[in-house]
Structures are given as structure tokens and as C-alpha cells.
Chain A
């Protein structure tokens, strides 16, 4: 089945620890995105990538890093510089971004909790 997968479903982070959230898609989509959702809040864009080996900061990139070495994969690292990392992290993909705004499809999300 085609889709977007995220792992793990739950992740616990200790103080000063970097953690990496996985996002994989087999939809052959060009663009991929990472969002953060806090309770009662809308989704906020962390990073996005339109093409392999290229990515752009979103609205709240500080304390996060990404890579896009393969079309299918867009992992997000939450670094120790992110002081309030507890949130629901959502990965999305869309067919293309250049010249139009395509519908985005979401993975099931990862809940990150700080110990």
C-alpha cells in the first residue's frame, strides 16, 4: 500500500539528548514537510523540502535539523537546543510544489515527550 510512515509512534527524550524522527513515503512525492502541533494549536511548519538534497526552514526551525538524501525519506532531528520539544510531530508529503500548491498527505505522527 502507498502511504507515509513515521516512527516511532512515541519517543522519550532526556535532557541534552538529540533524537531523530523517521518519515518515509512511497508515493513518489517530490515535496516533504515537517510540522509540529501543540495542544489547542494549529500546525506550525518546521522544515520542508522540494527536492532531494535541498530543504528550507519553516517558521520554527530553531533547534531542529533535517536531511533529504533520498526522495523517500525526510528524517527530523530534534536537538538539545530545542528547549520545549514536547509536541506531536507530523510529516507530510505532496506531489510537487513548484508553480502550484498541492494537497498534503500526512503520516500518523510521532509524540515526543521529555523525561
Chain B
């Protein structure tokens, strides 16, 4: 299994649709999980951290399943401005002390159409 694996996409959805992104990770010892958003030719920006109990921020809901090593991001009532690439990020084993550094998935591209 790749360290962080995401749906390849692209996802093309109409405005108002609900869209779900999935991500699996290989390191069972990982403790920190994030979703980042990256617009075309821009830097990644933190969308939300993912907590064990699941968390919600407006139209965005993130969930974590440690047993399955699976993370999800749900976007409800999608807007044109949600069009971007969504990166799943997990801390890994390599370097950075006991917690390791962040490992970035390749991302899933979302295109919301009018």
C-alpha cells in the first residue's frame, strides 16, 4: 500500500452536489491527519485537521477510521469556488522526531460546474 493514497479523480460535479473524497494511509502509528486544498498553480492551504471523533466546519465534514486506516472529506452544497485539488496529509515515519514528518497524497481534483 502506498503511504497515502487518494482517489485519482477528477471529480466533475454540478453546483449544489455533495461530493466525497477518500484517502487511505499505510502507517498504523500515524497520529495527525489533515486535508489541504490547493488551487491551480498555488500553494496548499490547510482546509481542516481531522480528529478521531470526526469534525465539521460549515459545509465540510472530515472523518477518520483508524481501524481501516481511512480518512474522508465530505463537501455538501458544493460551490464553484470549491473547485481545487484536495490533498490528504498524514504524519509518517520519516524524520522529524518521534512523530515523523507530513506525507502528502497526490490529491484529487474537483471541478464544480454551473
Contact of A42 among B43, B97, B101, B104 (CB under 8 A): B104
Report how far A104 CA is from B103 CA in the complex, Å.
Answer: 11
Stretch at the interface among B11-19, B75-83, B88-96: B88-96
- Point out the residues of chain B lying under 8 angstroms from A100, CB to CB: 32, 99
A37 shortest CB reach to chain B, Å? 9
Whether a CB of chain B sits under 8 angstroms from the CB of A95 is no
Contact check, A99 vs B97: say whether CB atoms are below 8 A apart: yes
Contact check, B43 vs A97: say whether CB atoms are below 8 A apart: no
Question: Chain B contact residues (Cβ within 8 angstroms of A): what range?
Answer: 20 to 34
Whether a CB of chain B sits under 8 angstroms from the CB of A28 is no
Whether a CB of chain A sits under 8 angstroms from the CB of B44 is yes
Contact of A107 among B31, B43, B98 (CB under 8 A): B43
Whether a CB of chain B sits under 8 angstroms from the CB of A58 is yes
Report how far A33 CA is from B96 CA in the complex, Å.
Answer: 11
Report how far A101 CA is from B4 CA in the complex, Å.
Answer: 16
- Point out the residues of chain B lying under 8 angstroms from A103, CB to CB: 34, 46, 49
Contact check, B43 vs A109: say whether CB atoms are below 8 A apart: yes
A4 shortest CB reach to chain B, Å? 9
B89 shortest CB reach to chain A, Å? 8
Q: Tell me the residues in window 61-115 of chain A with beta carbons closer than 8 Å to chain B beta carbons.
A: 88, 90, 97-101, 103-109
Contact check, B96 vs A97: say whether CB atoms are below 8 A apart: yes
- Point out the residues of chain A lying under 8 angstroms from B41, CB to CB: 88
Whether a CB of chain B sits under 8 angstroms from the CB of A53 is no
Known: A106-B43, A108-B43. A99 touches B98 (CB 8 A): yes
Q: Tell me the residues in window 41-64 of chain B with beta carbons closer than 8 Å to chain A beta carbons.
A: 41-46, 49
Contact check, B97 vs A98: say whether CB atoms are below 8 A apart: yes
Whether a CB of chain B sits under 8 angstroms from the CB of A2 is no
Interface residues of B (CB under 8 A from A): 4, 31-32, 34, 41-46, 49, 87, 91, 94-107
Interface residues of A (CB under 8 A from B): 33, 35, 40-43, 45, 48, 50, 56-59, 88, 90, 97-101, 103-109
